[in-house]
Amino acid sequence: MKFLDEAKVYIKSGDGGGGSVSFRREKFIEFGGPDGGDGGRGGDVWVEAVNGLNTLIDFRFQQHFKATIGTHGMGRNRTGANGSDVTLKVPVGTQIFEEDQETLICDLTVEGQRYCLAHGGNGGFGNAHFKTSTNQAPDWANPGLPGEEKTIWLHLKLIADAGLVGMPNAGKSTFLAAVTRARPKIANYPFTTLHPNLGVATIDEREFILADIPGLIEGAHEGVGIGDRFLGHVERTRVLLHLISAQEEKVGKAYKTVKHELEAYGNDLTDKAEIVALSQIDVLDDAELKKKTKELAKACGKTPFQISAVTGKGMTEVLRALRDIIVEANTEEKPAKVPKLRHRDMVVTDEGEDKGGDEGDDQP
């Protein structure tokens, strides 16, 4: 399946049905009075986070979503049927923005979390509502209120526990393939990885999610190479695993280049816990390995792990180090709950009940 992490979508909720102008007609009753029913409410447009998705590719083929209108009211005080809702199914981690791409509407970080993007218009009152002591036969009714329409942007930031960063050909995809069942494309040329890949790693019966993003080169924050647009997918991670290939002539410089790009991107990526590893060490002899390990340690200020996805050396130790940081971070956080949804003055509880709101204010 192709990867897409950004989509522009047009949404429109349903218009409310119009109220009915009707009068009671019955044998032997000369002045039956008004009996026009109310119009039905228009359908809403919702967005819901679901598991099993990690791309917005479906929105490339459908960009317009419209809820149905409410049915008009009818005689005998019959209220029209409400319009049907429309629900956009998106991956967990999707952010919804206004058309300006700056105003955040909602951030869906929990499976099952829902948000009402556009409320349907209220149905109009039938003429039975307008009967008074001085006007026993009103011949007018309210039209239904129009629904809301807008253009929104969907931005996906994958939810992962650990993110793999590094220069192109640092061995990130090879590492991911070695410790998970993911099968990213692997080849001996730069930018083999063109979009993020996810995999589930297991160590000591503990599972966590790894995200592999395309490599960063000098100037990535200015658009050089693939750029830094995929760094958003490691914003939510607990820890970054920074891989530096042992085949780099200057491993210290390679480390600092990626750190500079992370700093230029911002969003506190440089404040995240970091594990540094010298990868692909199977290509070095002992003397060269010792030299490059010392150079990298000087650049990052800590002793780096030495790993090889081919031979398996050091892989278990790195996975355990990642696990320990993730477990510690998770215990510091309270368990996430599906939040209650708020839209203007309306509150929808987890059971789906409508409480409070602005229903009465929608009628003129």
Helices 286-300/251-265 angle, 10° precision: 30
191 is in an annotated binding site: yes
138 is in an annotated binding site: no
193 is in an annotated binding site: yes
Distance CA 95, CA 336 (A): 17
Place 78 in a pLDDT band, splitting at 50, 70 and 90. very high
139 is in an annotated binding site: no
Smallest CA-to-CA distance from 317 within 283, 288, 277, 289 is with 277
217 is in an annotated binding site: no
Q: Residue 280 pLDDT more than 80? A: yes
172 is in an annotated binding site: yes
CA separation, residue 220 to residues 98, 205, 224 (Å) = 27, 37, 5
Phi and psi at 242, nearest 5°, equal -95, 110
Distance CA 163, CA 184 (A): 15
DSSP 270: G
13 is in an annotated binding site: no
Tokens of 157: 């930031």
Contact 279, 309 (CB under 8 A): yes
Q: Residue 360 pLDDT more than 50? A: no
346 is in an annotated binding site: no
Compute the mean pLDDT over every residue in the chain, rounded to the nearest whole number.
86
194 is in an annotated binding site: yes
pTM to 2 decimals? 0.77
279 is in an annotated binding site: yes
Phi and psi at 233, nearest 5°, equal -80, -10
Q: Which one is predicted more confidently, 186 or 270?
A: 270
59 is in an annotated binding site: no
Place 226 in a pLDDT band, splitting at 50, 70 and 90. low
Mean pLDDT across 78-101: 96
Phi and psi at 71, nearest 5°, equal -75, 145
44 is in an annotated binding site: no
Mean pLDDT across 41-68: 94
Q: What is the share, in percent, of the chain residues with pLDDT greater than 90?
A: 61
Distance CA 225, CA 257 (A): 14
Mean pLDDT across 324-339: 72
pLDDT of 29: 81
14 is in an annotated binding site: no
Smallest CA-to-CA distance from 203 within 184, 238, 178, 167 is with 178
281 is in an annotated binding site: yes
pLDDT of 190: 54
pLDDT of 1: 53
Q: Tell me which of 58-67, 159-168, 325-334 is least confident.
A: 325-334
282 is in an annotated binding site: yes
The H-or-E segment that residue 97 falls in is strand 94-97
Q: Residue 75 pLDDT more than 50? A: yes
Q: Residue 68 pLDDT more than 50? A: yes
Q: Which one is predicted more confidently, 30 or 84?
A: 84
173 is in an annotated binding site: yes
Domains of the chain, CATH where assigned: 6-156+338-362 (2.70.210.12), 162-332 (3.40.50.300)
pLDDT of 243: 95
Q: Which one is predicted more confidently, 130 or 169?
A: 130
CA 322, 266, 115 angle in degrees (round to 5)? 80
pLDDT of 3: 79
Distance CA 250, CA 262 (A): 19
Rg (CA), the chain: 29
Helices 315-332/172-179 angle, 10° precision: 80
pLDDT of 356: 45
Smallest CA-to-CA distance from 212 within 187, 189, 237 is with 237
Mean pLDDT across 320-345: 69
Give the pLDDT confidence of 307-319 residue by residue, as tens digits: 999 899 999 999 9
Distance CA 84, CA 70 (A): 8
196 is in an annotated binding site: no
Q: Residue 353 pLDDT more than 50? A: no
Q: Tell me which of 151-165, 228-242, 269-283 is least confident.
A: 228-242
Q: Residue 112 pLDDT more than 90? A: yes
